Structure 1
Amino acid sequence: MLPRISARTLAALTAVVGVTVGGLASAGAATAAPAGKPAVTGGSVAPLAVVNLGLTTTEAKKVQRWLTLHWGYSGAIDGQLGTNSWKAMQRWLKAQWGYTGAIDGVVGGGTVTALQWMLKANYGYSGRVDGIAGVGTQAAFKRFANARS
């Protein structure tokens, strides 16, 4: 299991990688997960990062289709849960699961906490509601994704 990384550290590392490979835009494309493979996982990240929380691209596409139908997501159905996917998710979490933060697409502790409340109520999450997207949160998020069509 990877150590927990703060958002500030992850943002700094993302910037270094982006500069090293020629810019943040190319770094995002270079780090996209191939079809069927998990993308970036973690507790919190900088804006514009892809945070699939352990979902494969196929599972993330299911979530994006659901967000398109119900929560105003209008981006590509590409299996990469980026800022716009998470903004739509935050709108849902704010409306129904007690999320009180900004609709900014950043997967921070508040977003994960609200997601954990939903997963605990409906998808078998049995861990602590602590805002950390660990293995149990990710497993329950997979169940949520696979319940979408």
Structure 2
Amino acid sequence: MRPNALGTTLAGLVTVVGLTVGSVATAGTSFAATATTAQTTAVAQPAAVTATENFGLTTAEAKNVQDFLAYHWGYTGAIDGQLGTNSWKAFQRCLATYWGYTGAIDGDPGPNTIKALQRLLKDSYGYTGAIDGIAGSGTRAAFKRFAA
């Protein structure tokens, strides 16, 4: 080999080795989670109830409910017409006190919350359906009367 060719070859070899070492050194910092790791992480996170459930109420009607909850049941959130977790926690306190709700005060308006709500609505707001935990049209109509 000629001296220039040898120098060029050595320079190229040093460059390749340098790039390889640099790639290996940064491999740890550019780690991407595998699908299994991402799934495990997602499962490990606690689920939070954050959805709004107005059961057919308008924003104005839901604000009326929030006013009632603030006045009587310790609701301290915004009067924004969105019955979210904190609104339903306050409502569950009401339902637990008077209407047979025995579930967790978790802000999730699931079937047990709806059954207690149906008992309240049957007592004073014209609900005539079954206490079935399903917020059907009869439950929604009576809930509108409650919110008026």
Pairwise TM-score range, normalised by the shorter structure: 0.5 to 0.7
Match of 1:145 in 2: 147
Q: Residue type of the partner of 1:143?
A: R
Runs of 4+ in 1 over 6 A off after TM superposition: none
TM-fit CA distance, 1:89: 0.1
2:52 maps to amino acid = V
Q: Which residue of 2 aligns with 1:70?
A: 72
- Tell me the CA shift for residue 47 of structure 1: 1.1
**Counterpart-to-counterpart distance in 2, 1:88 and 1:101:** 13
| 1:1-12 correspondence runs (5 A) | none
Residues 20-59 of structure 1: pairs in structure 2 closer than 5 A:
47-59=49-61
Aligned residue among 99, 110, 113 for 2:112: 110
SS of the residue corresponding to residue 95 of structure 2 reads helix
Larger Cα-atom Rg: 2
Aligned residues: 101
Structure 1 segments unaligned to the other structure (5+ residues)? 1-45
Return the TM-score normalized by structure 2: 0.67
Letter in 2 for 1:54: G
Which of 54, 57, 61 is matched with 2:63 structurally? Answer: 61
Percent identity between the aligned chains?
A: 67
- 1:53 partner letter: F
Q: Distance in 2 between matches of 1:54 and 1:93?
A: 19
Aligned to 2:130: 128
**Which structure 2 residue ranges, 5 or more long, are not aligned?**
1-47
* 2:92 counterpart of 1:93: no
Using the alignment, how far apart are the partners of 2:124 and 2:49 within structure 1? 28
Q: CA RMSD in A?
A: 0.8
Equivalent residue of 1:68, what SS? Answer: helix
Q: TM-score, normalised by structure 1?
A: 0.67
Letter of the structure 2 residue corresponding to residue 124 of structure 1: G
> What is the deviation of 1:130?
0.1
Q: 2:86 aligns with which of 84, 87, 94?
A: 84
Q: Which has the higher contact order (CA 8 A, sep 6+)?
A: 1
Post-superposition CA distance 1:24-81 (Å, at most 9, x none): xxxxxxxxxxxxxxxxxxxxxx711000000000000000011000000000000000
Q: Please identify which structure carries the higher helix content.
A: 2
Distance 1:55 1:124 in 2: 16
